[in-house]
Amino acid sequence: MKSNFSVNKEFLLKTAKEILEFNSPTGFCFEIMDKIEAIIKPFGYNFERNNKGCGTITVEGKNNEKTIGMCAHVDTLGAMVRSITPSGNLKFTILGGPILPTLDSEYCTIRTREGKLYSGTFLSTSPAAHVFEDSKSKPRDEKNMEVRIDEIVNCKEDVEKLGIGVGDFIFIDPKTTITESGFIKSRFIDDKGSVAAIIALLEMMHRENLKPKNTVKIIISTYEEVGHGSASIPSDISEMIAVDMGCIGDDLSCTEYDVSICAKDSSGPYDYNMTTELINLAKENNLSYAVDIYPMYGSDVSAALRAGNDIRGALIGPGVHASHGMERTHVNALENTIKLLSAYLI
Ligand SMILES: [Zn+2]
């Protein structure tokens, strides 16, 4: 069926900016979940949380015999304090899989258990060109990088006095920028771009008073970046669409303007019939789309299937350039994603 509903672009971009700017590394998502609950509250949909903190939004359908699941993850990459060096810097461990060389010289915020925030910078342990012969060639990895804290600290004890300790979260500056030309630049468009798209879809369904064919349960997951995001899903879900970033590069055909439909990723092929239906809907609605194979990828649907859920699953999402580095997409990719989802659901 053709969908000709209108996306509120202004709301979409405002929501994207708001959530992209908000720190939510995997394992620290309760604050952003509160924020999402507050953003969708005016639309009147039921919002529930499971024990590990994933949110589920329920949209009643014309037919409530069948429940379709949809999921997007709000957790991002990040880092955590591993130890404090004798000179008062922080060794860190990564959360998820950032491209570490891209973190060199990035600003960050350290959050103590008590909730105090301190700014800092990720740097190589040979950070000065005038001093270290290997400043340009030293590997940028956990072993050879540290966080420099913006406080007067000369030793480990000075850092401890600030309240900073092992296990504190380090938020990587998301550097969110939306350009006049419609590009959305931020570190973690994966997968907050999709979360913003889903919220804009809810806004559209609410504004246009649209009821989906079947009841829809939207899971806003956390812990996806460490592999178990939507491992546990409501038992009435029989088919689920993961809405996650589309890959760009090498021999893949997706661009930053497309909704990407994934036929297969590292976890195997997605459901044939669902994928076919999504491709047909993209064609019928003249959407800018791509069908691709993602060589190094797993989704919330993969997590749900691996955990033993008996569901059919598909994966779509906005094309995102330079994933797990300095990411970018275009508002057109988000709009195409929203239109494909609405065509599928409504
Ligand atoms: Zn993702």
Q: Tens of pLDDT along 260-307?
A: 999 999 999 999 999 999 999 999 999 999 999 999 999 999 999 999
What's the rounded Cα separation, in Å, for the pair 189 and 324?
9
| Average pLDDT taken over every residue of the chain | 97
What is the pLDDT confidence band of residue 223, given thresholds at 50, 70 and 90? very high
Q: Could you tell me the distance, in angstroms and rounded to a whole number, from the CA of residue 225 to the centre of ligand 1?
A: 7
Angle between helices 30-40 and 189-207 (to 10 degrees): 20
Q: Could you tell me the distance, in angstroms and rounded to a whole number, from the CA of residue 133 to the centre of ligand 1?
A: 38
Residue from 146, 224, 256, 327 carrying the catalytic annotation = 224
Quote the percentage of the chain above a pLDDT of 90: 99
Quick one: pLDDT at residue 139? 98
Q: Could you tell me the distance, in angstroms and rounded to a whole number, from the CA of residue 246 to the centre of ligand 1?
A: 9
For the entire predicted model, the pTM comes to 0.97
What is the pLDDT confidence band of residue 60, given thresholds at 50, 70 and 90? very high
Quote the percentage of the chain above a pLDDT of 70: 99
- Residue carrying structure tokens 């990564």: 94
What is the pLDDT confidence band of residue 3, given thresholds at 50, 70 and 90? low
Quick one: pLDDT at residue 150? 98
Q: Tens of pLDDT along 95-150?
A: 999 999 999 999 999 999 999 999 999 999 999 999 999 999 999 999 999 999 99
What's the rounded Cα separation, in Å, for the pair 316 and 339?
12
Find the mean pLDDT for residues 202-206: 97
| C-alpha closest to that of 178 among 193, 199, 197 | 193
Q: Could you tell me the distance, in angstroms and rounded to a whole number, from the CA of residue 168 to the centre of ligand 1?
A: 23
Tokens for 223, please give them.
Answer: 């812990």
Q: What are phi and psi of 46, to 5 degrees?
A: -70, 135
Q: Is 208 a catalytic residue?
A: no
What's the rounded Cα separation, in Å, for the pair 17 and 116?
24
Q: Could you tell me the distance, in angstroms and rounded to a whole number, from the CA of residue 241 to the centre of ligand 1?
A: 13
3-state secondary structure (DSSP) of residue 23 = coil
pLDDT at 2 over 70: no
Q: Which residues have C-beta within 8 Å of that of residue 10, sequence separation ≥ 6?
A: none
For ligand 1, an ion, list residues with CB under 5 A.
190-191, 244
Find the mean pLDDT for residues 184-210: 97
Length of the chain measured in residues: 346
Find the mean pLDDT for residues 4-21: 94
Is 105 within 8 Å of 121 (Cβ atoms)? yes
Q: Tens of pLDDT along 159-169?
A: 999 999 999 99
Count CB-CB contacts under 10 A for residue 315. Answer: 29
Q: Could you tell me the distance, in angstroms and rounded to a whole number, from the CA of residue 189 to the centre of ligand 1?
A: 8
pLDDT at 331 over 60: yes
What are the beta bridge partners of residue 92?
A: 81
Q: Could you tell me the distance, in angstroms and rounded to a whole number, from the CA of residue 162 to the centre of ligand 1?
A: 34
CA-derived radius of gyration, the chain = 21
What is the pLDDT confidence band of residue 5, given thresholds at 50, 70 and 90? confident
Side chain identity at residue 114, one-letter code: E
